[in-house]
A and B are shown apart, each in its own frame.
Chain A
Amino acid sequence: MEGRGRRLDRIFPVLLLAPVLSLFTVTNLYPVTYALILSFQRRTPWDLVGQWVGLHNYDVVLHDPEFWASLTRGFVFGFGSVAVQILAGLFTALVVRQRFRGKPIIVTLVLVPYIVPTFATALIMRWIFNDMYGVANYALFSLGFLQSYVSFFGDVSRAMPTLIIANSWQYAMFVTLVFLARMMTIDPNLYEMAEVLGASAFRKFRDITLPSIKGVFLLVILLRSIWMFNKFDVVYLLTRGGPLSSTTTLPILTYINAFDGHQFGIGAAIATLTFVVLAVFATTYFVVLKPEKEIVT
């Protein structure tokens, strides 16, 4: 009796975890393994069985200048987006943290961009930056910053910065939420003491707020960088990687090769290399910056 009870005690946690593990296997482990195997094959819609080609796909991808250019653009888009999101997110968190009338309403409005579906965001941004009717052109032209209306998403030099801004509008609020949550745990007495000692707002931010949020800061950089580097939906919806491939990042390149070029093996190889890049980045990040120490403190 007791033995059966002990067996049940051992099996029971596994039984409870089984649904989640099954879901993880089906939605994560299986597709990732499948993609890895696909990256060693030559497979097209007209040859679904495929042929084993070993490292040929990786050889083709690594010798393709477009891969390296897309990798660079990925870093530009990723780090550019993270920088804008952190600055905007931190600023918003600092503002929203203050006491003022209508704060609950403002906080709700601040969160709206994050909950708007990506497709709707892309549509809004297309209109804001439209070269004929867009409010961005209207405002910049009226203020004298532009001599005439310009194309934001259609110009090679402007497409990437515009994309970064359009993308950051939605995700900066996530950063705001994270920073706000951390700031709420800071002892308010520290600010009172600083006030008594005559510290300016900047000193209070630099000496109290910033050290307190440093751990979260580093974590946000890691997570947002990975997510932005992997971003497909907003880029595809707004520019499809154009004009002239100026916004083609690795996820877009993967899509173009797999679904426009019908080269599933090549697409899988690019996706695998993207994973490798991110894994190297994440490992370097943890080894060099040691963010876990900041979080503990």
Chain B
Amino acid sequence: MTDSPDKKMSRRSYLKYIGAGAVVVAAAGGAYYLTRPPPPKTVPLHFFTGESDPDSIKAWQSIYNEYLKTHPNVAVTDEYVAWEEEDPRIINLVSAGTPPSIWYCGDAVAAEPTVRGWIDQDAVGEVVAAAGIPEQNRRKYQGKDFIAPFMYEIVYMWYRTDVFEKYGVQAPKTWKDLLDVCETIDNPTGMRANAIVCGAIEASMEYSAPFWWGNGVRFMDYKDGDWQVTLDEEPYMSRAVETLEYLYELHKYSAAAPDWSYSELLDAFSTEKVAITYYIGARVLNVVIDRNPAIEFKMAPFQIPCPRENVTLGGIQGYTLFKQKDPEVTAAAKDLTEYMLTPAGVMPFLLSVPYHEIPADPKIYEDPTYLANPRISNHKDIIPFLKEMTAICRNWTTVLGPDKPLNPYLYNLCSEGNRLGAMQEKRVAGQESETIVKNAAQEMRDQLAELKIET
């Protein structure tokens, strides 16, 4: 028996049936769309930051989830990128016309967007006023706040007290002391003296800045009404060469390789591969408590020695708001930010990594909730040190002091290719310090020409 040809469907019939089916589906979908109840209007907020620590992320999520319980008309999408991706990502978001609603950042990275006019300084000012942020913590551009800060992150060093005791050395106060201590305690086949990162990696940029600034090196200066590169001008040129040579000497007692990042720094100290490390804040302490509690009480912080200027790198951190097209987004962002600056919003974050986030308001050190945290109460002895560091810290925008205008370029010029670490990497590879400094200065000038903001 063969199939009757009448039973076979022609191609045209197939297409007719498919077309008819598509029309029916489209009609049904359209009818549903037109007759469905309108969805409730929510205001979308985009929370963005370059902080990717899991504990900090959990703290933020718990804070704004608590807020959303009483604000169902707001929807928050959060984005956490790696530190070095923060700046490019912000530029891409703003260029695309979709700036974040709320940005948690340091005042150093917020400076350039502020000068470019991307930040809604009026909205930020209202948040600062509502939060009652004291004057000494406020950061302003052209008289208006550009960040609503609530904590500091500061660079200093940690050392093993038991190792120092064993070798009969003290916490160093000068460059010579530091070098002598490293020479004394270094064990090339065992525990190395320190961890001086020497690669074009973000970790190297942050710690080495206090060495450069502390030796009076000025990468830029404000002259003739404008910011100019001064790295290769005297006396800064010879100080820069001196700093590079000093870091090179220090690196001889270091376990660090050029590809080390923050995690290697933390690992090296917590697994007792090095006796001295640096870090931004007290994450080292928290990592040690988590992974190697045996040395928790055998470590102490000390300031990176400064030959010429008593300064360290530290930034005030907080929230800032970008200019938005939709005023409802601005209003919702302000409201959420104000909530995040209340004790209910600040405390979970400060306690997510104890002592790493340093409260900008010193009254918090006496807050019972703060002191109830075991890590805080067990290490209260470092509070006076942290207060000292807070008093002398400066960042990329304010390194020349508060009487100079905001510098919106220096952070970018130094973070481009992790310039400070790149200079050290070249020195360790054998290049001449003077050539390295001169080339770096020229690269900075070329880059500055691209970055110049018309104001």
Contacts and interface: CB of A to CB of B under 8 A. Distances in A.
A258 to B, nearest CB: 10
B259 A153 contact: yes
Interface stretch (A180-188, A216-224, A238-246, A271-279): A238-246
A45 B95 contact: yes
B425 A259 contact: no
Contact of A44 (B188, B200, B450): B450
A151 B257 contact: yes
A214 interface: no
Interface in A243-257: 243-244, 256
A132 B200 contact: no
A9 to B, nearest CB: 8
Given A156-B429, A244-B429, A262-B450, A132 B91 contact: no
B450 A242 contact: no
Interface stretch (B34-42, B168-176, B205-213, B260-268): B260-268
A188 to B, nearest CB: 43
Interface in A1-36: 5, 8, 12
Interface in B401-455: 416-417, 425-426, 429, 450
Contacts of B24: none
Given A8-B11, A242-B200, A243-B200, A154 B259 contact: yes
Contacts of B149: none
A287 interface: no
A155 B12 contact: no
B5 interface: no
B95 A132 contact: no
Nearest to A256: B417
A262 B91 contact: yes
B199 interface: yes
A148 interface: yes
B11 A45 contact: no
A132 B271 CA distance: 10
B417 A260 contact: yes
A48 interface: yes
Given A8-B12, A132-B273, A260 B258 contact: no
Contacts of B95: 45-46, 48
B258 A154 contact: yes
B contact residues, range: 20 to 34
A294 interface: no
Interface in B1-29: 11-12, 15
Nearest to B255: A132
Given A45-B94, A242-B200, A260 B257 contact: no
Interface on chain A toward B: helix, strand, loop, or mixed SS?
A: loop
Contact of A154 (B12, B88, B116, B199): B199
A256 B88 CA distance: 11
Contacts of A239: 259
Contacts of B268: 132
B92 A244 contact: no
Contacts of A262: 88, 91, 450
Counting chain B CB atoms within 10 Å of each CB, the highest count among A5, A8, A46, A131 belongs to A46
B189 interface: yes
A41 B390 CA distance: 47
B11 A155 contact: no
A45 B92 contact: yes
A45 B257 CA distance: 34
A286 to B, nearest CB: 39
A243 to B, nearest CB: 4
B259 A151 contact: yes
Interface in B85-134: 88, 91-92, 94-95, 116
A132 B15 CA distance: 66
Contact of A12 (B11, B88, B257): B11
Contacts of B257: 131, 151, 153-155
B11 A242 contact: no
Nearest to A132: B273
Contacts of B425: 242-244
A148 B189 contact: yes
Contacts of A12: 11
A243 B198 CA distance: 10
Interface in B269-284: 271, 273
Contacts of B200: 242-244
Contact of A242 (B189, B258, B271, B416): B258
A148 B199 CA distance: 21
Contacts of A261: 416
A32 B271 CA distance: 49
Given A148-B189, A243-B425, A262-B91, A132 B259 contact: no
A49 B209 CA distance: 37
Interface string B243-261: 0000000000001011110
B71 to A, nearest CB: 33
A260 B259 CA distance: 18
Given A45-B91, A148-B189, A132 B426 contact: no
A147 to B, nearest CB: 10
Given A148-B189, A243-B425, A154 B92 contact: no
Contact of A243 (B88, B199, B271): B199
Interface string B58-76: 0000000000000000000
A146 to B, nearest CB: 13
Contacts of B116: 46
Contacts of B450: 44, 262-263
Contacts of A44: 450
Contacts of B189: 148
A242 B426 CA distance: 12
A213 B338 CA distance: 69
A260 B11 contact: no
Contacts of A8: 11-12, 15
Pairs A-B, 7 closest by C-beta atoms: A154-B257, A151-B257, A154-B259, A243-B258, A154-B258, A45-B95, A45-B91
23 contacts: A8-B11, A8-B12, A8-B15, A45-B91, A45-B92, A46-B95, A132-B255, A132-B273, A133-B267, A133-B271, A154-B259, A154-B260, A242-B200, A242-B201, A243-B200, A256-B417, A259-B88, A260-B88, A260-B416, A260-B417, A261-B416, A262-B450, A263-B450
Interface of B: 11-12, 15, 88, 91-92, 94-95, 116, 188-189, 199-201, 255, 257-260, 264, 267-268, 271, 273, 416-417, 425-426, 429, 450
